[in-house]
Amino acid sequence: MASHRKSRPTGPRVAGIRTPALATAALTSVALLSQTANATPSDDRPTLEEVEKKVDDLYRQAGSATEKYNAAKEKTSKQRKKVDTLLDDVAQRTQKLNDAREELGSFASAQYRTGASVPETATLLLADSPQDYFDQNQLMNRLTGRQKTAVDDYVTQQSDTMKKRREATESLETLTDSQKDLKTAKATVQKKLATARELLSELTAEEKARLAAIEKKKQQEAARKAAELAKRQAAQEEAERKRREEAAEQESGSGSSGSSGGTGTSESGSSTPGTSNGTKAEKAIAFARAQIGKPYVWGATGPGSYDCSGLTQAAWKAAGVTLPRVTYDQVNAGTTVSVSQAQPGDLVFFYDDISHVGLYIGDGMMIHAPKPGAYVREESIFYDGESSIYSVVRPA
């Protein structure tokens, strides 16, 4: 029986893409398209290190905005008190002005009853500038001594009241500006923190674990640097101790060779420099240590939560020393010393914009309120690298 199948045509089969050249070209195109499609999202996604840097920068910017918020809040509070005082003063002066006006009114009534000089007195009471009118000799000549005193008092009260009203108006305008600054600073802080939280929320569990590992490595390096500083400071203290002992021995030797009373001149028990300040520093540290574990809240000054400058201000207040509210002012509230000369109780400031501060407790460590989402804790002063330290200040 003859077969009904048609014989397969010879030559290239274009429709089915059976030729090796066309097949290779097609596969290459698909592979390139696939790579292009996959490359876009991965290239746009930041690396973990970039996310970490961005979050750290946002927290730092939020810290700087927090200090601006604190400054604006303090200025607003002071301005509000000034405005309230001025308004109370204006109210009292207005009452005195009304009393003076009533006394002048009684003179006007008396003149009306006697038929004397009513137009001049009425004009006086209605004038915008009574003093100009009183300069006219014909009116002044008609006034008795008591009347002239009343007129002078009225003019004085009117002038003082207008002056205080202008001051109150200017203070209200300043208060409005301060409130705007406060609102702007608050919005800036909230925006920075929201952006940081959003970035962190987009991390996968694996990325968060890797980020924690990076943070742990940074902490270990910071602890190593703190230990190095503690070792250097201990060596300096030992050298200073030996120097004092040698000085005391020399003084004791020179004193005993010349007089029988030399035994009472030894200074080996004399107080070391800064003993009074040292006692205050101990109190400040004790207070700060008692706050460990309390949350960082921007703008907070205790007792349940703190921001960085709120904590240092409260700590030194507990020691009887008043510090300004914000880091920009605290950095000028004492004597600047080198990091190697830092002593417990000193304030350690960070970053070029002086947006963070901690309380030094010795051995390269400090107590501070780090950032939103964290708690008051002990940490190396090198927690963000040695270059982040701006200065060390010893409060008065």
Phi-psi region of 385 (alpha: psi -120 to 50; beta: other; left: phi over 0): left
10 token code pair: 């010879």
- The dihedrals phi and psi of 299, each to the nearest 5 degrees, come to 85, 0
Long-range contacts formed by 92-99: CB under 8 A, 24+ apart:
93/157, 93/160, 93/161, 93/164, 94/161, 96/157, 96/161, 97/154, 97/157, 97/158, 97/161
375 token code pair: 């708690």
Find, among 392, 58, 387, 73, the residue nearest to 194 by Cα.
Answer: 58
Catalytic residue among 308, 339, 357, 392: 308
Q: What's the CA gap between 268 and 359, in Å, rounded?
A: 31
Catalytic residue among 75, 186, 294, 356: 356
Catalytic residue among 93, 192, 294, 368: 368
Distances (CA, A) of 269 to 248, 253, 319: 10, 16, 25
- 308 carries an active-site annotation: yes
Strand order in 347-350's β-sheet? 334-337, 389-395, 347-350, 356-362, 365-368, 377-380
Is the CB of residue 357 less than 8 Å from the CB of residue 330? yes
Find, among 33, 38, 62, the residue nearest to 199 by Cα.
Answer: 62
- 4 carries an active-site annotation: no
Alpha-carbon torsion angle 357, 358, 359, 362, nearest 10: -130
Distances (CA, A) of 172 to 73, 164, 185, 335: 15, 12, 20, 37
Task: Kindly list the catalytic residues.
Answer: 308, 356, 368
